[in-house]
Structure 1
Amino acid sequence: MLDFHPLYSTTKIADLENVIDRNYDLGGPVSCRLLQRGFNDVYLAKTPGGDRYVFRLSQRRARGPADVRSETAFIEHLAGLGVPVAQPIATRDGTFFIEGRAPEGVREGVLFRAVIGRDVDANSAGDARANGKTLALVHQAAETFEAGEPRYRLDLDHLLWRPLMRIRDSGLVEDPAILLRIEGVAERTAAAIRAMDSLTWTYCHGDCHGFNACIDEAGEAVFFDFDDSGPGYLAYDLAVFLWAKVSFGRELIAMWHEFLDGYQSVRTIPEADLQAVTRFVIVRHIWLMGEYASRTQEWGSNAVGWIAGEADTLARWEREHLALPVRSAPPDEVADATA
């Protein structure tokens, strides 16, 4: 009999429920159901009394194991300062994460209190402003966070060069000329960023694309999914939201200006960081391409093959989107920018 070694396994619900019951004091046995699988496995856990939690079982990525220690420490710091975030629940022994052995290796689990609220509306100016405000509160609170030694830094090596290597290694881009075009955009983008003086370094959410939040009754955006967080460029953390509004054919630039208004109602953005945002839109897209490319053997080339066609997208962004105004603008100017 031959041995087949798994890249990724799915935990049995009964096993997961036993793990939660053994490690957390929730006042009764939980019942769980799988909400989604992908970069992580996410489960809804409910107690007999109706309390709701979200259990996230991290999956090992190309970058390595999840940095749950730094992530949960940062979230606890934010919550302590009143930033609206989904808080992790402590285990019976007082830690904020557990580790378990799966066939493919160790996986980390974190239990969060479920956020009460509605999903974000991509076309809502109020929701965009709420996202901007909460991200500003995150960055404001980050100024007093003692980061210790996070496992990952959101620098160009992490966000650009390593993802580019994963794209190369995946074999998905078979035409050398197309690969050279992608690499050319990456190199010019990196050179432009390196030439910018005094870019701000902060502790980033890392994935503030607008949907890692719920809108509560007060209209605030309550953030979750900090598993891409870490010390990095302020301009990158801002750029993720802009990227989400212009990527894959979207034309929601007006929501970017609303987001900026919400952010700047809390704190100002240095001019250098504001001007760097459009460069980091390209960095974000290459980062995503690299994330998908690294899953080729797990998800299959049909699911991730779209990255081979992104050279034109990157070139168009480099040629056109870098001219987008990054300041908050009156409606007429926004209309001109999207024409």
Structure 2
Amino acid sequence: MAGLYSDAFIETLRQGAQSLVGAWGLSPRTEVALLTISENATFLATDPERGARMVLRVHRPGYHTRAEIESELVWIADLRAKGVVETPEPLPMVGGGHIASFDHDGGHREVVAFSFMSGAEPSPDADLTEGFHALGAISARLHDHTRTWAQPPGFIRKTWTWDTMLGPTPHWGDWRAALGLTPDGAAVLERVSNDLRARLAAYGTGPDRFGLVHADLRLANLLVEGDRLGVIDFDDCGFGWFGYDFAAAISFLEHEPYIPALQQAWVDGYRTVAALPEEEEAMLPTFVMLRRLLLTAWIASHSETPTAQELGTGYTDGTVMLAERFLETAR
């Protein structure tokens, strides 16, 4: 790998994670190996003495506060306790607490641990219809939970609105810096951004449609084993529109011709658990466009990541094409 994600950089993070295995009661013989890296890095820690495996997540600096990380783990724990979703358990350290850290590059990297969950990421080349039906039901259970859950004092997560996604205070960067964006393309995206702002303002943020969501239910964060569909990586969970969870689920696939079928499967699955009014179903394409433009901004601000380098300017071109189609449909 090149740049920030060089082998040397990853090895530094791996050694940092290795230095903390004792905090979770693992032996010095524990082997730590990279699982995935995007912004956070996740490592599999395998202890041959205990026969134990756990996943260590090394957080990127400057994104979440410690209180935000703790809040994520609190929500996961409650979801698990109530059987809402199958997801790995946040593991406490031997001395109490859930967050450790190691010094890195003049600052520190926070680390949390989860139980290991087996399974495989769904393939985008497979028939995803059945899986999206199950994902719709899972999404409905998540949303039902957040409508009734009494958040503990000090609970804090980021809010995902037009302002924090595409507007003046974006969490993931400015779409105007998109790789390869031409002046004509920028004009199209400006129009669609303004259209999204108006649509979302009219739709509103009432408690029936806006609350705590996973916000990143893409294929990479799903694990399938037999009939089980597990959900991982709540790192981006926050307060947003419930329908946005569908849009996140089709990340990087928005252009595929089978998306309408996946949307219908998700809606049908959702309605096996909870009501989904027609007004909310009709907003799903809006959330898809919102997510697509947000991802375009993410790629622009994270151009050093392997994902951004793989997608390149072609993703920007695709976003412009989808925006033109969206505006035409709106007219």
If the length of structure 1 is used for normalisation, what is the TM-score?
Answer: 0.80
Report which stretch shifted further, 251-260 or 288-297: 251-260
Give matches, 1:83-232, under 5 Å: 83=84, 84-103=86-105, 105-122=107-124, 123-142=127-146, 143-146=148-151, 148-161=154-167, 162=170, 166-168=174-176, 170=177, 172-173=179-180, 175-196=182-203, 198=206, 200-217=209-226, 219-232=227-240
Work out whether residues 164 and 286 of structure 1, in 8 Å CA contact, stay in contact via their aligned partners in 2: no
Aligned match of 1:318: 327
d(CA) in 1 for partners of 2:243 and 2:98? 30
Tell me which amino acid in the other structure corresponds to 1:38: S
Aligned match of 2:54: 53
- CA separation of 1:281/1:298 partners in 2, compared to 1, >3 Å: closer, same or farther? closer
d(CA) in 1 for partners of 2:216 and 2:252? 13
- CA separation of 1:91/1:286 partners in 2, compared to 1, >3 Å: closer, same or farther? same
d(CA) in 2 for partners of 1:137 and 1:220? 15
Instruction: Give 1:172 deviation, angstroms.
Output: 3.5
Aligned match of 2:18: 17
Tell me which amino acid in the other structure corresponds to 1:273: E
- Secondary structure of the 1:69 match is helix
Instruction: Give 1:213 deviation, angstroms.
Output: 1.8
Work out whether residues 172 and 301 of structure 2, in 8 Å CA contact, stay in contact via their aligned partners in 1: no
d(CA) in 2 for partners of 1:14 and 1:7? 15
Tell me which amino acid in the other structure corresponds to 2:102: G
Percent of pairs identical after alignment? 21
Deviations 1:248-278 (A, max 9, x none): 4352432322222222211112333222211
Task: Give ranges in structure 2 of 5+ residues lacking alignment.
Answer: none
Work out whether residues 163 and 286 of structure 1, in 8 Å CA contact, stay in contact via their aligned partners in 2: no
Give matches, 1:289-304, under 5 Å: 289-296=296-303, 303=310, 304=312
d(CA) in 1 for partners of 2:149 and 2:187? 42
Work out whether residues 128 and 210 of structure 1, in 8 Å CA contact, stay in contact via their aligned partners in 2: no
Aligned match of 2:81: 80
- Secondary structure of the 2:80 match is helix
- CA separation of 1:140/1:18 partners in 2, compared to 1, >3 Å: closer, same or farther? same
- Secondary structure of the 1:10 match is helix
- Secondary structure of the 1:60 match is coil
Tell me which amino acid in the other structure corresponds to 1:45: A
Report which stretch shifted further, 263-272 or 273-282: 263-272
Deviations 1:56-84 (A, max 9, x none): 112236x5658312211110111111121
How many positions carry a matched residue from both structures? 313
Instruction: Give 1:173 deviation, angstroms.
Output: 4.6
Tell me which amino acid in the other structure corresponds to 1:178: G
- Secondary structure of the 1:78 match is helix
Report which stretch shifted further, 248-257 or 51-60: 248-257
Aligned match of 1:266: 273
Work out whether residues 122 and 222 of structure 2, in 8 Å CA contact, stay in contact via their aligned partners in 1: yes
- Secondary structure of the 2:203 match is coil
Report which stretch shifted further, 290-299 or 128-137: 290-299
d(CA) in 2 for partners of 1:85 and 1:102? 29
Instruction: Give 1:24 deviation, angstroms.
Output: 0.6
d(CA) in 2 for partners of 1:33 and 1:189? 42
d(CA) in 2 for partners of 1:308 and 1:176? 12
d(CA) in 1 for partners of 2:120 and 2:302? 31
d(CA) in 2 for partners of 1:210 and 1:301? 17
If the length of structure 2 is used for normalisation, what is the TM-score?
Answer: 0.82
Work out whether residues 157 and 237 of structure 2, in 8 Å CA contact, stay in contact via their aligned partners in 1: no
Q: How large is the Cα RMSD of the aligned pairs?
A: 3.1
d(CA) in 2 for partners of 1:93 and 1:248? 49
d(CA) in 2 for partners of 1:297 and 1:26? 33
d(CA) in 2 for partners of 1:7 and 1:28? 27
d(CA) in 1 for partners of 2:118 and 2:181? 46
Work out whether residues 35 and 44 of structure 1, in 8 Å CA contact, stay in contact via their aligned partners in 2: yes
d(CA) in 2 for partners of 1:165 and 1:183? 15
Task: Give ranges in structure 1 of 5+ residues lacking alignment.
Answer: 1-5, 324-339
Tell me which amino acid in the other structure corresponds to 1:204: V
Instruction: Give 1:202 deviation, angstroms.
Output: 1.6
d(CA) in 1 for partners of 2:242 and 2:75? 16
